[in-house]
Chains A and B, each alone.
Chain A
Amino acid sequence: MENNELNLPGYEIPEDVKNVVAVTTLDRLLNPVYNWGRRSSVWPLMFGLACCAIEMIAAQASRYDLARFGMEVMRPTPRQADLMIVSGTVTKKMVPAIVRLYNQMPEPKYVMAMGACASSGGPFKEGYNVVAGIDKFLPVDVYVPGCPPTPQALMNGLIMLQKKIDKEKISQVRWYRKGHDSVEIPVPILGPDLIDPRRIPDIKAAAAQPVTTPAQAGG
């Protein structure tokens, strides 16, 4: 946290204690301290989907050492995690599980789409079992490009997330506001193809059109 945003203007502080003394109001203090605490202990969900997960592990390991950001505490259970790094290709078969995991994470929670696949489907976008980006289901905070993103890129993404957290105001964040409890995302259903419950009217309407698909002959 920057000292100058903390200090109330108009108070002269002696040079030799400038680093340790600040004159401020509770109002000014609250947000920086709150955000600083949170941004320095973002606990990611221990959750790997595909190749990108290996670079995520590499970012945690010896050379890159994510612990420097306070982010090395991977939680295998979503109930203790703050950040879901969607590290890999999201398939239709997997997406119900991912949505369920997201729903189980307590607020405040963030989602990072790591790599081309999680951002948009990537090299596998045209595949029949691939969801073209996790943002079709979950709200994404940070996108990290690459296939796979190098550990440096992932770290840059995490720094972006920290910057985002720095801008939060305790009076405005959604998890403290009345009536804004964590939003449950409806879990997709595996039918003849993937069905997003929020889109059932669209699907019905499009399926009623005469030619529905490019070609569904045979098979």
Chain B
Amino acid sequence: MTAPASSLTIDLAARFPGAVSADVRPGYGGFIVPAEKLIEVATAIRDEFGYDLLSAVTGVDYIADNKMEVVYHAFKTTGGPAFVFKVQVPRENPVLPSVVNIWRGAEFQEREAWDLLGIKFEGHPDLRRILMWEGFEGHPLRKDWKEPFFEEEVKPFKSRWPDGKHTFAEVKNPFRDNLQFPADFDPEKVTFTDPEEALYKSLKKYHSETRDGIETDHILVNMGPQHPSTHGVFRAVVMLDGETVVSLKPVMGYLHRNHDKIGERNTFLQNMPYTDRLDYFCSMTNNFGYALAVEKLMNIQVPERADYIRVIMSELTRIQNHLIFLGMFLNDLGAMYTPALYAFEERELILDIFEEVAGARMMCNYFRFGGVARDMGEDALRKARELVFDRLPGKVDEMDRLLTENEVLVSRVKGIGYLSAEDAIRTSMTGPMLRASGVPYDIRRADPYSIYDRFDFNVACRPEGDLLARYMVRIDEMRESLKILGQALKQIPAGPIFPGKPQYQVKVPAGESYGRVESPKGELAYYVVSNGKPNPYRYHVRPSSFVNLTSLEQMCIGEKIADFVAILGGIDIVLGELDR
């Protein structure tokens, strides 16, 4: 494990002499590209060097240098480490070209950078706010933007520690609430920009025509944010022609809980429990990604046993996530609740193991930088063995048998929501979504982390690219996870689970790092920048659910509205991670 997040095997500076330079700041890696050359360089990175999958686009506000930096992480779908390149723009007028035409997967992430940091992407087809609403004041992730309950730059706040005389945040705020308004703001005089207006405008125009002497027109349907099929507070605006989807826009941000901003005030370790709450089905894998990112910066080795425990926890997480996926997916198709009950039965047993090792069912907060919080006791191991060797294989088969051959299911999902391999890569799909389009890209294999290179398993992959394939990939994956678990539970060695003494405050050297894991929903990554202080300077989560929605519109166009529900269910989104 080395500190820079990228490899320098390709010399971009030599390919573009005089324009591109290597990033030589200590602890940093990759290349710095001038804004005006970005499109040319990015095209070369994709076409000449083969980095076809753009994983993350995010901004960092380097306020001391008066610069905004946009960081890109690109990968090859054939495997290998990241290729990192950056563009620096002045803080007052941060404008750079959009790369949406090269990698469509940048669409939402560029919108997010505009929303939270105020960076403008020229040529972006639809640059609106994405997490906050249109009309919100300010760009919250800028370092000089302070939230209404602002107390101090970084934690631990003096009011809580060491003496702990905390007063309610409401008392200190002039509005007595989590609010701030511009000076002399008068709600009665201001006319507000309707946050919805820009949204409706962004939908494709509908041209009415005359069919059989009847004038046609469109129907606009708002699904969500409160809708039983949207898996939480997700919303989609759908334009229909009869029952057929003509245009669709996802609307996010209803669960935007400001992970990035809070994370930059927290100390490194304080962020660990927050990661639990991203994808709340999979707290273990969330922990994993963040631990990897910080461990890369700290350059520490994880003891064998801890690595095994990590893998065991991650794979158990994957199984319970996919079980719930099956249950909820069938729910979306109309098999109300019965399959979900089967799934929850098994999930409870897995959660029992989590509770035993970590102390909590869902919010495990179990990983530490360098290891895990507690050892996995004999009893927990026994339970895991019983599940993995005796119970779960049969249960997965049972689910498969009960559901897969069901004619209603097959006719609802076969050939629906097609996404070709090229489109899946172009829109930065990851996880089961990508693999169901025939691209065998699994980070556990493509860019192995932890000890995944030791296990014998297949990358579940289906070439059809439809909903049925997405469903089958999950079933295959559960079987592969069971394979990994079987090996891990047999091989797990005795030994320490943490190097040295656990510390409350870790020392993290300056630099950047990108830690990514194959979470059950796709690639979950953390981009962490440290400046040597006890708190991360930048803490960014690259969520899989969020980016995986990029292709939602494309998959739905031409399908029926009822299929939209199934297609959305097939992506397996979770709002905590989507909106952060």
1/0 contact string of A163-175 vs chain B (CB within 8 Å)? 0000000000000
CA distance A58 to B323 in the complex (A): 13
* Contact between A214 and B178, CB atoms less than 8 A apart: no
Q: Say yes or no for A192: interface residue by CB 8 A criterion.
A: yes
CA distance A121 to B344 in the complex (A): 28
* Contact between A91 and B185, CB atoms less than 8 A apart: no
Interface-forming stretch among B143-151, B303-311, B422-430, B499-507? B143-151
The smallest C-beta distance from A212 to any residue of chain B, in angstroms, reads 5
The smallest C-beta distance from A61 to any residue of chain B, in angstroms, reads 3
Q: Which residues of B contact A213 (CB under 8 A)?
A: 146, 148, 173-174, 180-181
* Contact between A49 and B344, CB atoms less than 8 A apart: no
Q: Which residues of A contact B131 (CB under 8 A)?
A: 129
Other-chain residue from B133, B183, B280, B347 in contact with A50 (beta carbon distance below 8 A): B280
1/0 contact string of B176-213 vs chain A (CB within 8 Å)? 11111111111110101001000000000000000000
State the main secondary structure of chain B at its contact with A: loop
The smallest C-beta distance from B49 to any residue of chain A, in angstroms, reads 37
Q: Say yes or no for A26: interface residue by CB 8 A criterion.
A: no
Which residues in window 77-120 of A have CB below 8 A to B?
A: 88-89, 91-94, 97, 101
Q: Which residue of the partner chain B has the closest CB to A197?
A: B187
* Contact between A207 and B169, CB atoms less than 8 A apart: no
Other-chain residue from B136, B148, B362 in contact with A214 (beta carbon distance below 8 A): B148
* Contact between B135 and A190, CB atoms less than 8 A apart: yes
* Contact between A128 and B181, CB atoms less than 8 A apart: no
* Contact between A50 and B361, CB atoms less than 8 A apart: no
The smallest C-beta distance from A50 to any residue of chain B, in angstroms, reads 6
**Given A49-B233, A55-B362, A207-B182: A219 touches B280 (CB 8 Å cut-off):** no
Q: Say yes or no for B340: interface residue by CB 8 A criterion.
A: yes
The smallest C-beta distance from A176 to any residue of chain B, in angstroms, reads 29
Interface-forming stretch among A2-10, A31-39, A130-138? A130-138
Interface-forming stretch among A16-24, A179-187, A198-206? A198-206
The smallest C-beta distance from A90 to any residue of chain B, in angstroms, reads 10
* Contact between A51 and B169, CB atoms less than 8 A apart: no
Q: Say yes or no for B138: interface residue by CB 8 A criterion.
A: yes
* Contact between A203 and B185, CB atoms less than 8 A apart: yes
Q: Say yes or no for B326: interface residue by CB 8 A criterion.
A: no
Query: What range describes how many residues of B lie at the interface?
Result: 35 or more
CA distance A165 to B547 in the complex (A): 46
Count, chain A residues at interface, CB 8 A:
64
* Contact between A218 and B258, CB atoms less than 8 A apart: no
Q: Which residue of the partner chain A has the closest CB to B131?
A: A129
* Contact between B576 and A216, CB atoms less than 8 A apart: no
Q: Say yes or no for B216: interface residue by CB 8 A criterion.
A: no
Other-chain residue from A49, A130, A210 in contact with B178 (beta carbon distance below 8 A): A130
Q: Say yes or no for A14: interface residue by CB 8 A criterion.
A: no
Which residues in window 259-278 of B have CB below 8 A to A?
A: 261-262, 265, 273-274, 277
Q: Say yes or no for B281: interface residue by CB 8 A criterion.
A: yes
Q: Say yes or no for A160: interface residue by CB 8 A criterion.
A: no
Q: Which residues of B contact A142 (CB under 8 A)?
A: none
Q: Which residue of the partner chain A has the closest CB to B189?
A: A204
1/0 contact string of B296-319 vs chain A (CB within 8 Å)? 000000000000000000000000
* Contact between B175 and A203, CB atoms less than 8 A apart: yes
Q: Which residues of B contact A212 (CB under 8 A)?
A: 174-175, 180-183, 185
Q: Which residues of A contact B281 (CB under 8 A)?
A: 54
CA distance A202 to B277 in the complex (A): 34
CA distance A218 to B341 in the complex (A): 52
Q: Which residues of B contact A76 (CB under 8 A)?
A: 227-228
CA distance A85 to B190 in the complex (A): 35
* Contact between A127 and B180, CB atoms less than 8 A apart: no
CA distance A144 to B348 in the complex (A): 21
The smallest C-beta distance from A191 to any residue of chain B, in angstroms, reads 5
* Contact between A127 and B258, CB atoms less than 8 A apart: yes
CA distance A127 to B261 in the complex (A): 7
Q: Which residue of the partner chain A has the closest CB to B63?
A: A218
* Contact between B341 and A216, CB atoms less than 8 A apart: no
* Contact between A204 and B186, CB atoms less than 8 A apart: yes
Could you list which residues of chain A lie within 8 angstroms of chain B, going by C-beta atoms?
46-51, 53-55, 57-58, 61-63, 76, 88-89, 91-94, 97, 101, 121, 123-132, 136, 147-148, 150, 189-195, 199-200, 202-204, 206-219
Could you list which residues of chain B lie within 8 angstroms of chain A, going by C-beta atoms?
118, 131-133, 135-140, 142, 144-151, 169-170, 172-188, 190, 192, 195, 225-228, 232-233, 253-258, 261-262, 265, 273-274, 277, 280-281, 340-342, 344-345, 347-348, 361-363, 575-576
Name 13 interchain pairs, CB-CB below 8 A, sorted by A: A48-B233, A50-B232, A55-B362, A57-B340, A58-B348, A63-B348, A124-B257, A127-B147, A129-B258, A189-B187, A192-B136, A203-B175, A207-B186
